[in-house]
Amino acid sequence: MDELATKLFDVQAVKFGSFTLKSGQVSPIYFDFRLIISYPAILEKVAGLMWKKCADNGANVDLICGVPYTALPLATLISVTNRVPMLLRRKEVKDYGTKKLIEGDYRPGMNCIIVEDVVTTGSSVLETAVELRKLGILVTHAIVLLDRRQGGKENLAKHGIELSAVLHVEEIMASLEKQSKVDHKVSEEVMDFIRGHQQSIISPNPRLHVSLDERRSSSKHPVASRLFDLMIAKKSNLCVAADFSSFDEVIKLAESIGPKIVVLKIHVDILEDFTLAKMKQLKKVAKSHEFLIMEDRKFADIANTVHQQFHGGVYQISEWADLVTAHPLPGPEMITHMFGDSSSDSRDTCGCVLILEMSTKNALTNPDYAKEGAKWGLMASDVVAGFVAQSPPDSDFSGWIQFTPGVNSASKTGDSKGQQYCSPAEAVLERGADIIIVGRGLINSSDVVATAENYRTEGWAALTQRITNP
């Protein structure tokens, strides 16, 4: 480390004086690592140490991505030397061609390590992580040549990113002082500045503050794309849970509130008078009022059984459901194979909605469960259109849609059987809901049309507020 610190000082990649940083602060030390490209031996040494740090930390690496621009040569060298594929993040979108911000070959669910030269607050690393996460790429580690120790490690940890640094500012100062490159006074001045300038950052969540149009273009499932279109066209994020035992009641409700909703959710197995002919009738209503039908089947068996439950039996769910819920409990293979093989038509006509968290008190769906389920969902982006949750999952992806049940404006607590409720605004603004699911709060009201309009207005206003005022 002494050798590296000296080399960086000698080529003036570490400078002392008075420097105005991006944040406006005036710093007594400046790291100009752009210079390293003029010294291939130093570049090679640094890239080697960074990759070693990464390997020592046991990070899972499928891809690496450099933060533009200074870290790009470092990332390229690491990529080529270690045969690890690289992604390129653009700073600005081109207004021609593919208009992509991230270039390269990737699949959702892949682990990407971010490579950076210097971290102060961590904001540049986070900006890159946000863009990668929008595409379903997992980002849990970043590797940096120098950590200025001004809060970056802590800030990134809050966003699920572990930062590893080859050098820390106090090591550089100690080393340069030991070798009489700087005197003790300068060293003290630098360390006082570092201690006095700890900074935090607030970061946009990858999904919560992105426009629906933009999310629609990153969505990977045709049913999710259709749902984004409906939300935009109908200015609605309302899904109604039509939990009646009579199919005629469901159809009557759908006819009256159809213009206000984007999804009608049913439990087909509680309908006493289910017939495929009545389902055809409901499909007609859904077509004319433009809403999707979600079967809240909550599949949770082995893939072979779920496949039969989905396609067969008396309900023939695959014939009519636009969305169907499933627990990730049985594992990723069930999710991948539930609709059949990759050529199955159902993959385009029906989207799986994974239940990552339940709304009930004492549910076993804890954060680790939700995190793992979300990861599996990302790996099956041709099957999964969204998820049911009470908070944004760790592995978030802006092309997915979050459905949040347990919404009821009239009850602050819940029912007497474990269900918990919150308001539409709380569901959207605090819990990350894109779509609010309202059941008894609407279907038991005396004027379902007026109540649907109230939920639609409140839910939509909250969603608009969240997008426009991050």
Ligand X SMILES: O=c1ccn([C@@H]2O[C@H](COP(=O)(O)O)[C@@H](O)[C@H]2O)c(=O)[nH]1
Least distance from C-beta 324 to ligand X, angstroms?
Answer: 13
Report if residue 126 touches ligand X, rule: CB under 6 A.
Answer: no
Spatial distance between the Cα atoms of 373 and 394, rounded to a whole number of angstroms = 10
Stretch that binds ligand X, among 216-224, 284-292, 400-408, 452-460 (CB under 6 A): 400-408
Burial of 231 (0-12, 13-18, 19+ CB in 10 A): buried
Report if residue 405 touches ligand X, rule: CB under 6 A.
Answer: yes
Among 259, 440, 445, 449, binds ligand X (CB under 6 A): 440
Report if residue 356 touches ligand X, rule: CB under 6 A.
Answer: no
In total, the chain counts a number of residues equal to: 470
Stretch that binds ligand X, among 255-263, 278-286, 405-413, 461-469 (CB under 6 A): 405-413
- Pick the closer one to ligand X by CB: 108 or 441: 441
Cβ contacts of residue 41 below 8 Å, gap of 6+? none
Report if residue 408 touches ligand X, rule: CB under 6 A.
Answer: yes
Among 219, 419, 423, 451, binds ligand X (CB under 6 A): 419
Encode 376-386: b = buried (16+ Cβ within 10 Å), e = exposed. Answer: bbbbbbbbbbb
Report if residue 393 touches ligand X, rule: CB under 6 A.
Answer: no
CA angle 13, 16, 22 (to 5 degrees): 75
Report if residue 359 touches ligand X, rule: CB under 6 A.
Answer: yes
Least distance from C-beta 373 to ligand X, angstroms?
Answer: 13
Among 439, 456, 458, 459, binds ligand X (CB under 6 A): 439
Report if residue 406 touches ligand X, rule: CB under 6 A.
Answer: yes
Count of alpha carbons within 13 angstroms of residue 239, beta-carbon side: 27
Least distance from C-beta 209 to ligand X, angstroms?
Answer: 25
Stretch that binds ligand X, among 78-86, 300-308, 309-317, 402-410 (CB under 6 A): 402-410
Closest CA to 29 of 163, 181, 165: 181
Instruction: Note whether 227 and 253 are within 8 A (CB).
Output: no
Stretch that binds ligand X, among 104-112, 116-124, 182-190, 433-441 (CB under 6 A): 433-441
**Which amino acid is residue 300, in one-letter code?**
A
- Pick the closer one to ligand X by CB: 130 or 306: 306
Count of residues that bind ligand X according to CB under 6 A: 15
Query: H/E element holding 126?
Result: helix 123-134
Spatial distance between the Cα atoms of 212 and 397, rounded to a whole number of angstroms = 13
Among 295, 296, 396, 434, binds ligand X (CB under 6 A): 296
243 annotated ligand binder: yes
90 annotated ligand binder: no
The three-state DSSP-derived secondary structure of 77-93 is HHHHHHCCCEEEECCCC
Least distance from C-beta 275 to ligand X, angstroms?
Answer: 21
Sign of CA dihedral 337, 340, 341, 346: negative
Spatial distance between the Cα atoms of 156 and 143, rounded to a whole number of angstroms = 12
Q: Which residues are catalytic?
A: 296, 298, 301
439 annotated ligand binder: yes
Report if residue 426 touches ligand X, rule: CB under 6 A.
Answer: no
419 annotated ligand binder: yes
Report if residue 409 touches ligand X, rule: CB under 6 A.
Answer: no
The SS3 of residue 401 is strand
Stretch that binds ligand X, among 42-50, 127-135, 201-209, 438-446 (CB under 6 A): 438-446
Least distance from C-beta 221 to ligand X, angstroms?
Answer: 20
Instruction: Note whether 125 and 115 are within 8 A (CB).
Output: no
Spatial distance between the Cα atoms of 14 and 9, rounded to a whole number of angstroms = 5
Report if residue 128 touches ligand X, rule: CB under 6 A.
Answer: no
Least distance from C-beta 70 to ligand X, angstroms?
Answer: 46
220 annotated ligand binder: no
Which value, in Å, is the radius of gyration of the alpha carbons in the chain?
26
Identify residues 210-249 at the interface with ligand X (CB under 6 A): 241, 243
Report if residue 388 touches ligand X, rule: CB under 6 A.
Answer: yes
432 Rama class: left (phi>0) / alpha (psi -120 to 50) / beta:
left
Spatial distance between the Cα atoms of 165 and 1, rounded to a whole number of angstroms = 12
Least distance from C-beta 268 to ligand X, angstroms?
Answer: 12
Known binding-site residue numbers for substrate: 243, 265, 359, 419, 439-440
Q: Which residues bind ligand X (CB under 6 A)?
A: 241, 243, 296, 358-359, 388, 405-406, 408, 419, 437-441
Known binding-site residue numbers: 243, 265, 359, 419, 439-440
